[in-house]
Structure 1
């Protein structure tokens, strides 16, 4: 049986000597695949005593985080998901104060401390701002994992330096720690840790191991007994079971459906009628089929029989459908929604009636620059949709792009895509492997570096260059340039030639997007696409002819005026002196 992450939890809170409890806490343990893709979340917040509404801030912060975190894209990393949700909560709290009578006095507004942990796979992701605390009991040693964000004025006076709702932006601490079986995490407000030392807290956790609820209640009561005059809240989280570190387990069950039999024309298969085979390679077989329920044409893709024992290739095959289901763009391949149960291991996608960009380039050896721009812009839209969800395509090439009968361009292959959210869930089977095609792969991959959105920009620019010139910007030298010194020697070959009227500024745009150093490319693909249509300001400034060439009369008039002013100045100076 597959092992899943399991946390044994205990939580307890009391108002103590206060009239109201301004602390708030929560825990969410999802079911099914969300446990693997998003993890278990726990959060605690503490309102400030000077405010009569900070308990509302604490409640909103914890509930908002536990709800909204699971609404973020599964492809986002925990860090990105958590930070964006917390930033949104902070903005809402600050807005509430700004619209209230307390807008000029934050001490009475919607302000609270906030600490949270997301347990995902074998890691704990920690988010923190304020003076709540998170500790870990590891090998019988209690260690703090967060700092106290307070400014000390004197031995008897201090104030919060950071908290949610204090400003339009929040400075958030983030860290990640590896989990070990038996590790115990404690989230607590200052009413606890200011009255119980680490030794006492560690001893209670040890005495109540296996009874985390009992430990939480005992910690609260012990703090009150020791004189705590504040609200007291603690959450005790013990790692009871860790998942096995398997790449494929990250987004599928171990009990795979059976692989399909060999498919052929006129065959009935799992509710489809097979029409013909479209493509076959060493990796997969692709068939045109008709859905018997909807009568729509679809594509059935099966894994090659030679690779069915390979966990690596099963992983890549599954990843393609996973990505296609999570990115909504007209320029990315769309998977089929199946109402009926699937009985075999395969992928069903939309059928695109058209041709690959590679074939389009053969049929259109001398395309107009307008046609090239149109295709590149559509590919860029698909890439941008992926990048927003922290996905890198990593294998952009004409064979992986389709142009349908209406001229719509779609990216169709995601086998090499890297997804930030999944990187946290499993250890990749091959680290830093170059997955793209050599002619279109960015130079940084050959240095053993991880790719970025700038790497996909490079590949897109190579396609644009290839379409315009029928050659590559650096020939075949990029794949052999595996040192920085070798990459500095790469010489860009101008795309300009006699057979096509290409503006000089288009060549300048391609040269920048194709720079071997990713930091010298465009900051965003949108900037590259924009400059393919409009000369950049930098290009205009560099290529602007001097005034003496553009308008000699105006130049000499300016020189004459300058000399006249100088002469007048000299005459006045002479008169004053003498």
Structure 2
């Protein structure tokens, strides 16, 4: 589903002899809609003469034209900044070249909607508002006016395009939700109307009782009726459809946020109370937090402060948060979007229970029926990942959670990869072999990329370990380059293991990828059929295939021994 936005605009001169406001927008088709997004802008000329109108029109037209000429590889904020700085230089130059345009300047507020994110660029006292239909219908002002804060100078600008040789642009960004309503308004509208009146009109758009076009007309006419002495202009945009989350936008949003300091129980972050530190690693921190508004416990994951300035770690963390949000299923903690986010973190649902590894360390014994039941759920979860083109790359008991509700949930997408990672070339290029050595498939030690088959292998090792507390090929230490022969049959450690389940596990952990289950669904089918339709036992690997070097060494030694015997016989004769 593409991004679909309903738009409307209106502009009136009002009591002024001429209209110095200028509004415009571009709603492109693909591929520009996905790469650059939709842009709308409003400007208010501030010179009081012909130059005001020229400045506002040039600022809007120049931005709408030049923004789409910037490289797709630039961040949205970078593109807006560079274009507006160039426009500022042009406006300044015109004021010096043409005497009648001396002092020309303009405010400007721009809004870009791309993917599931919005971006604002703002100079002056035009404004951008957001009304979100979240049950409260609260009106948010997304921009801050650049005016003197003294009562007698409330309408004296401190910043505008053309006012100074150096332009300072305010940038903002946030997540877009379906049915969001945005308003760009000149001061002739917002100064004459109360926030209640503006909110009421935008609510009617949200409730589909008023179109964006009629809403923009209503706001301008209401401002004049309320006694506005200025030009009145408004642009109203309603988001009616959103595309699937875009990796670039997720990276852009989270890269710009500061990492929070290390928190202690009892401290607050964005309205969430920290109750407990769940886990600490070299790169990330996990907290159990309490959402007092919704009365629920959540898990907050963030970067360790020591890694806060590491560009790669920030990208990897943003990538993890983006993947976690895409896997909407009962097999995964669900990502929760906060009302406001001022720091680098993401929230997910909390579930009572513990990881399989912690249960093993606590002495829990997993029976054959337990492993069949939980194994089937785990394989279903793996299938759900693969259907979304995601390879987990670190399936192990530590990353599999068994809830008190009996549900299996997969944790930690920190090293996961998806088919869409090419959207961030630096990120995809930086991923090397990742995971826990004892759960890595044999081909990965030869430099092969992680695939669905390597996840299936790790799942098989996980189930094997639950039953036996051993690894099929022995424990592998970091930086070790092991040689793989035949897997040790699990019945060596668990004589009570049915032969059909042993064959299923041996197929899952086969040394060669083509000998494993092709898909998670095939793995699941074998577990569900069980003894009714057992798999055949795997054939022993010939020595020439499993370890050809050893075989040829043995042949060479045998040949030397045979030649020595023959030489001895000849000498004795």
Q: TM-score scaled to structure 2, two decimals?
A: 0.49
Q: TM-score scaled to structure 1, two decimals?
A: 0.48
Q: Which has the higher contact order (CA 8 A, sep 6+)?
A: 1
